[in-house]
Chain A
Amino acid sequence: MSNIKVLEQDEFLKKISSQEIEEDSQKVEYWDIVWAQFKKNKLAMFGLYSILAIVLIAIYAPFISLNKPIYVVCNGEWDFPLFASLFDQNFFQNGVDLFFNLQIFLLPLFLLLIFVKVFVMMDPFFRFFPKFLAIYFGLSIVGFLLIYQGGHQVPYKDWTEIIQKKRMNGQIVDVLMPFNIYSYRQPNVNPGMNPAPPNSKQILGTDTEGRDVFARMIYGTRISLTIGLIAVSMYISIGIVLGALAGFFGGVTDIVISRLIEIMLCFPTFFLILTLLAMVNTRSIFYVMIIIGFTRWPEVARLVRAEFFKLKSMDYVQAAIALGFTKGRIIFGHVLPNALGPVIVTAVFGVASSILIESSLSFLGLGDASAPSWGEILSQGRAQFKLWLILTPGLAIFFMVSIFNLVGEGLQDAMDPKQRR
């Protein structure tokens, strides 16, 4: 008798646990549906693949364009100048470059871990991915800070000259150079004229200071991506917190925060950014990001606030309130996950518009002069009236902005239940 009872209990437990699993997997299901919808949209998929490609280009930029050989073999001695210079702050002066150079090593690890998780351990992708991404970014930022603080500096060596000398001395040198043999800061690469039109050596020509445009374009992806990522994550976080507080608590909190939102929305954003930027004496890409991040949050806050107002009157939230759940649990466990969809869409569109804002600022000459920004090349093109300095960066900005807009729109459609068949 007792045995049967135990068995029944076991089955009962199993039933419960299987139910739990089902419930658990239902949480993920929403994003699976969104992904399934998203996959049907060919343009959006094209956008997504392009973003991935651009990320890869940005990270592996040194292998595409740098004036240092990947390896040099001379008298059986191997040397790797490219790898040696990756964290050299005398060569890569910009923090953005150091950050992306770090990714050269971190990204393969990350991808390997994801591969193992998905194909070996068979975990559902959307359940672990956000956590993974957060850990990954945390790690890279810590690593970046360590490298940045380390301040590793090596005197500059002109490798093309060194190799030439060695060859002149009759030594046999085996060299593998990157695809394009210029770095983005190297001036006067074309002995003829500045700016030089596209030719067999500089495939996209050179700019007014004689720097190779192709190299600047490749490294420009880093600037654009960083701007998009940091500025947007800054203003999305500020917007979510303030909007959630205002929308959920209402009353005085709402009055104060909506007043703040209203005040911030009254400033013409672009002009405000322009003013703030002109006030900062040092032209740095980080100021641009921070200024964009601090000026564009009201849109997000307003969106989240409206979403919270809408969701607050829903039965399930009222039920949660009636059940006496803590406010934090209701806000972050019940309301925010449902309000997050539109925010993610805004974030993706925000990346596009932040890139646009940064390139307009560089175009107007208020960007970071040392950073290889696409807008800056375009402004040279406008001043010099040279087509190769106009078309390349212009089309690149257009491409970058449209792929993010495509993905944003694809997401928007995929999340819209009305368009689901």
Chain B
Amino acid sequence: MQQYIIKRILMMIPTLFAITVIVFGILQMAPGKPGGGLETDSESANKQEGMAGHLIFKRQFHLDKPVFFNFRFWLNDDDIIQLLDEKYDKTKKYTRAQKNVATETIEDYGNDILPNFHRILERSDDKELKIRILSSFSANAARTLIHRFGEKLSEEERFINRETERENRRVAKFSYSPTMSSAEFDKLNFQVIDYLRSIEDRWNYSLLQKMYKCFFDTRFSYYFYNLLHFDFGISMVDKQPVLPKIMEKVGYSILLSVGSIILAYLLAVPIGIYSAVNPKTLLDKAITVGLFMLYSLPTFFVGTVLLFYFSEGSEYYKWFPTGGFKSIDSDNMTSLQQLKDISIHMILPLVCLTYVSLASISRYARTGLLDVIHSDYIKTARAKGLGEWVVVFKHAVRNGLIPILTLLGSVLPAVVSGSVVIEVIFNIPGIGLESFNAVITRDYNMVMGIQLISAVLTLLGLLVSDILYSIVDPRIQYE
């Protein structure tokens, strides 16, 4: 058994890796910029200040790197010339969108474009092209500092950073302006070529370095590296770390879903047993139909109707608050009052969450028991003359309720995402509302974090339900 559990946990690792790759891929494929809603070229992005801010943002989240594989040591000169053509296009040959894309692409290439610049500057006689390269040069040649956005730096790293900064200042002087005379231009050209020659061996990558760059100098590997340290990154919206934020929100959701599951099981099992033991009676039929109706009722409808009739905003019964987890002034209350306050806030959401699971669990319990109750060993037990009570509870229930144990495994993931709609309706600041907001604002790190955590919980839930299975049913054995 222990071996089995260890094996299962080890098998989770590739699964989780695959999940990370899939979710990451999906999020990177998404159009539009993160954190900024849907608009792709906003006004601020065109302003100089906004541009610089955007660049810092991109560097911070490694958005300037390719997603999975980095082949930027193989950039083609002709492609670069084409991109420059699009970027500095004055003849309106290209659309504005194309121009923006080209500008952004050149910006993203960063240092990796320098060998191409070097080659073109040395070989080409086209003055226009040289001007274009020289005007992009200083931006592209600037190098990023190590751990620029981190806090702790070693002495060595600080030294490297100082050197880099000095070089960046030197590079910044190589800037082209349209007022330059021809001689000045030639001088700048020579300076730049000189500089590029002096740093030429930086991009003479060995095969190993190329492999390293290909696989590890990418958005995904930076993200995954952080992930291995349980660092889910920071939210792109409010710049708060993701993991503490999720942990803070998850409490509300756990309270809701665990509460509703306990309630549901407490109600569902007796109902299921009753209607399985007395099938085809009037009450059984009524229960079946009633549960069926509950099962088909959409939660968002029930939630809205409950709010309409029973919340403070309604014209009918102002029994419950319209939403939220607690009142605004709850900090001033005594703990008993706080408890009462929270429970009053929780009643409507709990009702909504419970009735759905109640319906499905008791239906499972009923069918599971019905399957068992017609089996031979139950008939044998009855034939032996055992009492009905013993037959049902000792013989039938143990086997008949195995199916609803699998449902228990689904509790864990439901903690994270099962109640998105409910939390949105009742405005409960749990993980469901958070994930909804993250999706709407395209907060990639937050979405990634929630997806990954819920995937881990799902895997654990499956494991737990398998283990429970083998405890309840000795016939099931794992080797």
The dominant DSSP class at the A interface is: helix
Please, what's the 1-or-0 string for A207-250, where 1 marks a CB less than 8 Å from any CB in chain B? 00000000000000000000000000000000000000000000
Q: Which of B293, B420, B439 is most buried by chain A, counting CB atoms within 10 A of its CB?
A: B439
Q: Which residues of A contact B111 (CB under 8 A)?
A: none
Asked if B225 is an interface residue, CB under 8 A from chain A, the answer is no
A 272-311 contacts with B by CB, 8 A: 272, 274-276, 278-279, 281
* Contact A398:B298 (CB < 8 A) given known A268-B454, A279-B26: yes
Which residues does A use to contact B, with CB under 8 Å?
43, 259, 262-263, 265-268, 270-272, 274-276, 278-279, 281, 352, 356, 359-360, 363-364, 375, 378, 381-382, 385, 387, 390-391, 393-395, 397-398, 401-402, 405-406, 409, 418
Asked if B459 is an interface residue, CB under 8 A from chain A, the answer is yes
Q: Is the CB of B413 within 8 A of A275?
A: no
29 residue pairs of the A-B complex, CB under 8 angstroms, read A259-B18, A263-B15, A265-B458, A267-B458, A268-B416, A268-B418, A268-B454, A270-B417, A271-B417, A271-B435, A275-B23, A275-B447, A279-B26, A279-B27, A279-B29, A279-B31, A281-B31, A281-B32, A378-B300, A378-B304, A382-B300, A385-B313, A390-B304, A390-B305, A391-B305, A393-B301, A394-B304, A398-B296, A401-B296
Q: Is the CB of B305 within 8 A of A394?
A: yes
| CA A268 to CA B431, docked complex, whole Å | 13
Q: Which residues of A contact B301 (CB under 8 A)?
A: 378, 390, 393-395, 397-398
Q: In the complex, which residue of chain A has the Cβ closest to the Cβ of B314?
A: A385
CB distance from A295 to the nearest CB of B (A): 11
CB distance from A323 to the nearest CB of B (A): 32
| CA A395 to CA B297, docked complex, whole Å | 8
B 298-327 contacts with A by CB, 8 A: 298-301, 304-305, 307-308, 313-314
Asked if B465 is an interface residue, CB under 8 A from chain A, the answer is no
Known: A267-B19, A393-B301. 9 other contacts (CB 8 A): A43-B289, A266-B459, A267-B451, A268-B417, A268-B418, A363-B300, A378-B301, A390-B305, A409-B292
* Contact A262:B439 (CB < 8 A) given known A390-B305, A394-B301: no
Q: Is the CB of B420 within 8 A of A387?
A: no
Asked if B120 is an interface residue, CB under 8 A from chain A, the answer is no
Q: Which residues of A contact B307 (CB under 8 A)?
A: 382
Asked if B146 is an interface residue, CB under 8 A from chain A, the answer is no
* Contact A267:B308 (CB < 8 A) given known A356-B298, A394-B298: no
Q: Which residues of B contact A271 (CB under 8 A)?
A: 416-417, 420, 435, 439, 450-451, 454
Asked if B436 is an interface residue, CB under 8 A from chain A, the answer is yes
| CA A378 to CA B300, docked complex, whole Å | 9
| CA A397 to CA B418, docked complex, whole Å | 20
| CA A418 to CA B369, docked complex, whole Å | 13
Q: Which residues of B contact A356 (CB under 8 A)?
A: 298
Q: Is the CB of A275 within 8 A of B26?
A: yes
